[in-house]
Amino acid sequence: MAARALQALPRLRALNRLQVILQHLKMSKQTDSTAEVLLEKKGGAGIITLNRPKALNALNLSMIQQIYPQIKTWEKDPETFLIIIKGTGGKAFCAGGDIRALTEAGKVGDKLTQDFFRGEYRLNNAVGTCKKPYVALIDGITMGGGVGVSVHGHFRVATEKTVFAMPETAIGLFPDVGGGYFLPRLSGKVGYYLALTGCRLKGRDVLKAGIATHFVESEKLPALEKDLIALKSPTKEKIADLLNSYHMKCTIDQEKAFVLDEHMEKINSIFSANSMEEIVKKLKQDGSPFAMKQLETINKMSPTSLKLTLRQLREGASMSLQEVLRMEYRLSQACMKGHDFYEGVRAVLIDKDQSPKWKPAALEEVSDEFVDNCFKPLGNDDLKL
């Protein structure tokens, strides 16, 4: 028996060697420039590069399924000290989730409508609970799903090219990916305002709103990344120090006031109302150009989405990230079964006529009972984190 075991040893060694080689090949395959997401280890850093520049690095299920286990692996690896996520192409960090694929799947009852949201929300949670310092370089367009893979991490570095938005109410959805967690925690009622109107914030305003933690010139990002990679077994404090040093040197728009500063009082008073109807009433009563502009925007949004969103944020304000993601999964499934999501995507992304026909068409027609149903537990189908 012992002799036979000894004979098997070289075979085992060869097999192990083969496995090591295969592992290396697998890692190098993921740094192939045509892959949708690149996963590499450089120095002490694990680097995730979203690589669909033509689609503005929108996240699809296959990317989500590659990123999630890699974060979990790096988390356990004693030689990985931080994780960096970035996008290619210079235009976008990540413009959102792959909404088109979802629409097509939903129409034919494909289970992608479950798998996508499950996978995406589990990834959002992995970012939010990551034990290693997580640095998102949010250079360029950062919306929806792109916010989900950045905002829950320790560090978010914005640049003068950053454009942030949660524009979901315009397509019959709601600001998901943990929006119910981070939006109500922004100062005053800014998060409610951003969620309901889909308002875009640019450059340094993304920092001032509390969405980014640092602000660095876009052209300095390669140097920053190089310095992060070169850190020798850094602590979270060391990483923060390095980010701070870049942040302090950046003077772009330093003197500019926060774009929403002059409207803060109105935002805080109007968006603290506890129903959509009341928000609309307050906007009408206010009558200022700012209020009228918000009213016009809100009138274009899906009434169902607006009601779901307001309740999502009001409830999310006192929930943990995990509870929020479970709630949002329920809402996502309600939207996939409804009308407005498909109509919104048609009007905004497919036909681009920008005139969706919402059903119901008015806030008053979206009953409390309907809204309550969207928040109901799904039993066995609930999101497991």
Cite the active site residues. 97, 145, 168, 176
3-state DSSP: the chain helix, strand, coil percent, rounded to 5? Answer: 55, 10, 35
Q: How many CB atoms lie within 10 A of CB 154?
A: 19
Which phi and psi (to 5°) does residue 154 adopt? -65, -45
Name which of 219, 230, 196 is nearest 43 in CA terms.
Answer: 230
At 87, is the secondary structure helix, strand, or coil? Answer: strand
Query: In this structure, is the dihedral angle defined by the CA atoms of residues 94, 32, 227 and 44, taken in order, positive or negative?
Result: positive
Report how far apart, in Å, the C-alpha atoms of 3 and of each of 7, 10, 12, 15, 86 are: 6, 12, 14, 19, 54
Strand order through the sheet with 45-50: 37-42, 45-50, 82-87, 134-138, 155-158, 214-215
CA-CA distance, 287 to 148, in Å (whole number)?
Answer: 35
| Strand ranges inside the chain, DSSP E | 37-42, 45-50, 82-87, 92-94, 134-138, 141-143, 155-158, 163-165, 201-202, 214-215
Q: First CA to last CA across the chain, in angstroms?
A: 46
